Structure 1
Amino acid sequence: MSGGDTEDLRWSHAALNCRDIDATAEFYCRWFGFVRAAAFPVGDTKIVFLRKGDAYLELFQAAEGPADDAARGDGPVRAGTLRHIALRTDDIDRVLARMGPQAQVSLGPLCFDEFVPGWRSVWVKDPDGTVVEISQGYKDQTTGGEDDAQRH
């Protein structure tokens, strides 16, 4: 079974829901060699990107209380669960057009120019309901490498 031309899609990241973003970031940096690549404010919390080579982890604050089991357009929010997987491309619109009606969009496309100019994402669901983010234009905020990873 072929889905057509997919050469423009590359692995991007896995997104994790965390009880304590800083503790989770420290764990992956200390024990697995990730470095802090970016952090963005979101309301009263933040989103943190960790990088090891070409692999990224995106860390979200987990929901607390009755909403723990709720799913949003970008995936489930309960601590200890995978929120979504992500692929990157140079052209989200082309990917969505190629997918046609099989693109079950759950959120977006959204623009994140206030954080990184040109960064856009859309979230779609696979046949089992797993959320897949398709992103274009993301770039790391930091340039200092390991030293930046130790400063949470």
Structure 2
Amino acid sequence: MMRWSHVGLNCADQAATEAFYTRWFGFRRARVVRAGDEEVIFLKSGPVYLELFASATPPAFPAEKDGPTHRGSVRHLAYQVDSVDDFLAAARGELTVTLGPLSFDEFIPGWRTVWVSDPDGVVVEVSQGYTDQAPEELAAA
């Protein structure tokens, strides 16, 4: 079953972008993921998520594989599925995979992702297993 997940945004200033969407659009932190020096912030409002990337930091993945990295741009669109492997099997090689599938078990057990390209080159992330962070963990983030 395919479900809308989020839009990844590249930010010149993550804190300013988070404050903007929190103040004006009712978003709240749902998860913070740290990988080396990179921090990715997930914001949530109802069922809608934004994934905030700091565009000043080098991307954790090869350039453009998970979407463009220049600030002020949409990095990728994202969907959740029950199984990335089932999604890829159903595609029968008809999709252009730009990255993955990759496992993010170090952050969330069972979190797996693949990135594909649409006909216009827009990167679409397809993931399984994402969950929000517990409130007490967010307080410490």
What is the TM-score normalised by the length of structure 1?
0.83
Equivalences for residues 1-152 of structure 1 within 5 A: 8-63=1-56, 71-143=63-135
Instruction: For residues 25-70 of structure 1, give each alpha carbon's deviation from its aligned partner in whole angstroms, at most 9, with x where no partner exists.
Output: 11101110001000011221300000001100000011479x9xx9
Cα RMSD (Å) of the superposition?
2.4
Instruction: For residues 71-90 of structure 1, give each alpha carbon's deviation from its aligned partner in whole angstroms, at most 9, with x where no partner exists.
Output: 42100000000000000000
What is the TM-score normalised by the length of structure 2?
0.90
2 CA distance for matches of 1:64 and 1:135? Answer: 23
Instruction: Report if aligned partners of 1:125, 1:131 keep a CA contact under 8 Å in 2.
Output: yes
Consecutive aligned runs of 4 or more in structure 1 exceeding 6 Å deviation:
148-152
3-state SS, counterpart of residue 101 of structure 1: coil
Instruction: Report if aligned partners of 2:32, 2:138 keep a CA contact under 8 Å in 1.
Output: no
Instruction: For residues 78-104 of structure 1, give each alpha carbon's deviation from its aligned partner in whole angstroms, at most 9, with x where no partner exists.
Output: 000000000000011111111122221
2 CA distance for matches of 1:75 and 1:61? Answer: 13
- The alignment covers a number of residue pairs equal to 139
2 CA distance for matches of 1:79 and 1:151? Answer: 27
Which sections of structure 2, spanning at least 5 residues, go unmatched?
none
2 CA distance for matches of 1:58 and 1:151? Answer: 19
3-state SS, counterpart of residue 72 of structure 2: coil
Match of 1:4 in 2: none
Identity of aligned residues (%): 51
